Structure 1
Amino acid sequence: MRASRTITVGPSVRYVSLLAAVLLLILTGVVLVLSATSATVITSPDRPLHYFSQHLWSVGISLGVLGITLGIDYRHWRRLAFPMAAASIALLVAVLVAGRQVGGARRWLEFGAFNVQPSEIAKLALIVAMATFLDARKDQIDRHDRILRPSMLILAVGCCLVLLQPDLGTTLILAGIGVGMLFVAGLPGRDLGKIALVVGIAAPALAIAAPYRRARLAGFLNPIEGRADEGYQTFQSLVGLAQGGLRGTGLGAGQAKWGWVPNTPTDFIFVIVGEEMGLFGAVGLLLLLGVVGVGGLRTSQRAPDEFGTLLAAGIAIWFVLQTFINVGSVVGLLPVTGVTLPFLSFGGSSLVVTSAAAGLLLSVTRRSG
């Protein structure tokens, strides 16, 4: 007679891979932000490490938030869906009224020494709200009045408030998250086709509606001819990437951050990657981001319930879509939109909320088969 034995099940390979990829990305972001902000030694000699110190604070808070959301059972987030949605809408309205204006846009609320970007919070709030709503009505997915119309109302409110800031890039990300979650929930193809048609018409129309967006579009279409004006940022970004070659110039040895490419610590951090780490480093970083995105989608397939499936899918779609838009803007495949690269860019709100979402994804992964 064979003796019985106890089998201890450890963390899954997918869980360990996701956690390792997230931590490596955050650590790499620290190095990249230090390099991208090193020019402040010359421009601000009295506070040479001001921005880097801010980023370290954000990293510390992000790691704490990551640990908290990872440790909480993801099913508890159902009860937070309505409060999160209400708070997110209130913050989006508040930023339009009392937000700090930078470059003609109101995207930040100031709370003492801290700046909060409500549109980042709106991404996570939308995912939790949509997952809760679709899970509660999963048996009525074919009914327009019960699924499609309320979902479109939720998306329309969030997208319109973000678009008024104005922030077209984040608006498209919110729309992409919502449509992707409806697809995962099983919305019929005819309804998804209608939504895709509306988005396909609205996106180009919004892109040419404002003069500054038309200028960005012209710079995207003709970066060489417009390199002294509307195409300057795209052209200089391509030059920086070309200088990196296969192996890069070495960390800290790049030239793009010395004023040649605007916003290198935030929207154009990938230029630092391509120039200083080369093609090999850029591909390696994209592979890490791919581990998070693909791992999240695999988690959505194996989640123990519908809520976990939708939650993991929404977060994975968010990370993949935002990475595609950011990197696409840097390499000239898309017009400049002004969104950050997940886990890597300088920016407290973006990093903290992204880390919270990663912890939530890991919580689902931990409880998946």
Structure 2
Amino acid sequence: MAKQASPVHASNRSQFRALIAAPTTPLYLVIASVAFLVSLGTLMVLSSSSVVAEYWKLSPYYFVVRQALILAVALLAAWVLARLSAETYVKLGWAAWVLSAVLLTAVLVVGDDRFGNRNWLTFGPISIQPSEFAKLGLIVFAAALLHRRSRTLNKPWALLIPLAPMALILFFLILAGRDVGTGLIMATIAGLIMWFIGTPMRILAPAAALGLGLMALLVFGSDNRSARIAIFLNPDSNPDLASQPMSALYALSSGGVWGVGLGASRQKWGGLQTGPHTDYIFAVIGEELGLFGSLAVLLAFAVFGFAGMLIAMRSDSLFCQITAASITGWMIVQAAVNIFVVMNLLPVLGVPLPFMSYGGSSLLASMMAVGVLISCARNTPDMRKHLEAKRRAKRTLRRRMTSVMAATKGDS
């Protein structure tokens, strides 16, 4: 006899499905997951950056105060972008691309070199990394362009022209600054966009091969990057260069299940060199908060990814479908690349962990992307009905309150 599910289990499944189907669920999941990652990231920046601050004879709170100030600006930017409509973003598509291209070109002309890459613009005490914002610029531009051409997407030329040349220009500008890590993420974003709209593999495969070939030339054309590949394959070939990735592994392995305690990391004291609060912050999380903390971070990114794809599937606007899926893919792929580097499953690429690593440009660009994602979440059909119902309820309540106040004045 077939075993039937108990009424309690059936009821729980029904409640779970109803919760997932609620119009506000993707929005709340995005907000909750990002809030968790940003909050934990700020706490871990405080824990991990004090060592670097001490080395530079700065206040132990120097980096976390800067991160908190940037976070305040980022939250404001996200709030503003969340209030814009999809139609507004479609109108801003070309402007997003032009601004990205201008800033990336300015980097090549007057930018600063750091860690072997030219990818910074400095304005007095403020430095920005335009390549971080170019990721979002490419997504908004591509989604707006494809939204306008929705009726001709079954034709290859509509997929490739002018999207492919425009994406390649941004890609080449980033690679010209020798930033292979960001170039890899940018190429991945472009590939995801093309894949999401159904581009045939006969087009995607050669484009991917071209991008990988260009990055390989950059890698093996640089002694520093070639050394990174060498120590990834054989850490004993250069113990000095291998000390950072090896220290990251030691940090993860020494954390155990529950970690050594917040602030008690040993590897941040020199082993992780200058990166415990930036690209290697996940290693400090694993050491101080253990497997529990690491899994919590992975779960938060999984929730973000699920919510982002849910927004894309529920949208009736092609712009929001492409934008939500691309922003989600960007964050998940970049997080995976960062974590794989920390786990020594990839060579060092210099890619920050979204929402968590110290860095103003990365945090601001990521939160701006979240603002655009929330805008798309607010514009799904069910969410529009939900928001309109709330507005009607507020108007009704105001009318009733006005009537009560008028009646009270009349009686008096």
**Residue from 91, 112, 119 that aligns with 2:124:** 112
Q: Secondary structure at the match of 2:92?
A: helix
Matched-pair contact (CA < 8 Å) for 1:218–1:230:
no
Q: Secondary structure at the match of 2:270?
A: helix
Deviation (angstroms), 1:10: 7.8
Q: Secondary structure at the match of 2:239?
A: coil
Deviation (angstroms), 1:227: 5.7
Deviation (angstroms), 1:145: 3.0
- Aligned ranges 1:13-32 → 2 under 5 Å: 13-32=25-44
Partner of 2:152: 140
**Residue from 304, 329, 350 that aligns with 1:292:** 304
Worse-matched range after superposition: 192-201 or 321-330:
192-201
**Relative to 1, partners in 2 of residues 1:133 and 1:192: Cα closer, same or farther, differing over 3 Å?**
same
Matched, 1:170 2:172: no
Matched-pair contact (CA < 8 Å) for 2:53–2:62:
no
Deviation (angstroms), 1:332: 0.8
**Residue from 142, 147, 151 that aligns with 1:130:** 142
The two structures have a TM-score, normalised by structure 2, of 0.83
Deviations 1:75-119 (CA, angstroms, capped at 9, x unpaired): 311111111211111110111111122233221111222111100
Worse-matched range after superposition: 198-207 or 66-75:
198-207
**Distance in 2, Cα, partners of 1:211 & 1:87:** 33
Matched-pair contact (CA < 8 Å) for 1:219–1:232:
no
What's the Cα RMSD here? 1.8
Deviation (angstroms), 1:67: 1.5
Matched-pair contact (CA < 8 Å) for 1:127–1:315:
yes
**Relative to 1, partners in 2 of residues 1:60 and 1:272: Cα closer, same or farther, differing over 3 Å?**
same
Partner of 2:345: 333
**Distance in 2, Cα, partners of 1:200 & 1:48:** 41
Matched, 1:153 2:165: yes
Matched-pair contact (CA < 8 Å) for 1:218–1:231:
no
After TM superposition, the runs of 4+ consecutive aligned structure 1 residues lying more than 6 A away are none
Larger radius of gyration: 2
Q: Secondary structure at the match of 1:260?
A: coil
**Distance in 2, Cα, partners of 1:81 & 1:114:** 27
Matched-pair contact (CA < 8 Å) for 1:119–1:162:
yes
Worse-matched range after superposition: 289-298 or 140-149:
140-149
Partner of 2:240: 229
Count of aligned positions: 360
**Distance in 1, Cα, partners of 2:219 & 2:114:** 20
**Distance in 2, Cα, partners of 1:259 & 1:192:** 43
Matched-pair contact (CA < 8 Å) for 1:69–1:360:
yes
Worse-matched range after superposition: 299-308 or 121-130:
299-308
Matched-pair contact (CA < 8 Å) for 1:75–1:308:
no
**Distance in 1, Cα, partners of 2:354 & 2:175:** 21
Matched-pair contact (CA < 8 Å) for 2:26–2:308:
no
**Residue from 62, 66, 69 that aligns with 1:50:** 62
Deviation (angstroms), 1:294: 2.2
Partner of 2:71: 59
Deviation (angstroms), 1:285: 0.6
Structure 1 gaps, min length 5: 1-8
**Relative to 1, partners in 2 of residues 1:270 and 1:46: Cα closer, same or farther, differing over 3 Å?**
closer
| Matched AA of 2:107 | V
Deviation (angstroms), 1:46: 4.9
Deviation (angstroms), 1:40: 4.3
Matched, 1:346 2:358: yes
Partner of 1:324: 336
Matched, 1:260 2:271: yes
Deviation (angstroms), 1:125: 0.3
Matched-pair contact (CA < 8 Å) for 2:100–2:137:
yes
Deviation (angstroms), 1:300: 1.1
**Distance in 1, Cα, partners of 2:116 & 2:234:** 25
**Residue from 233, 248, 269 that aligns with 2:259:** 248
Q: Secondary structure at the match of 1:245?
A: coil
**Distance in 2, Cα, partners of 1:304 & 1:143:** 22
**Distance in 2, Cα, partners of 1:44 & 1:178:** 39
Worse-matched range after superposition: 146-155 or 273-282:
146-155
| Matched AA of 2:102 | A
Deviation (angstroms), 1:42: 3.5
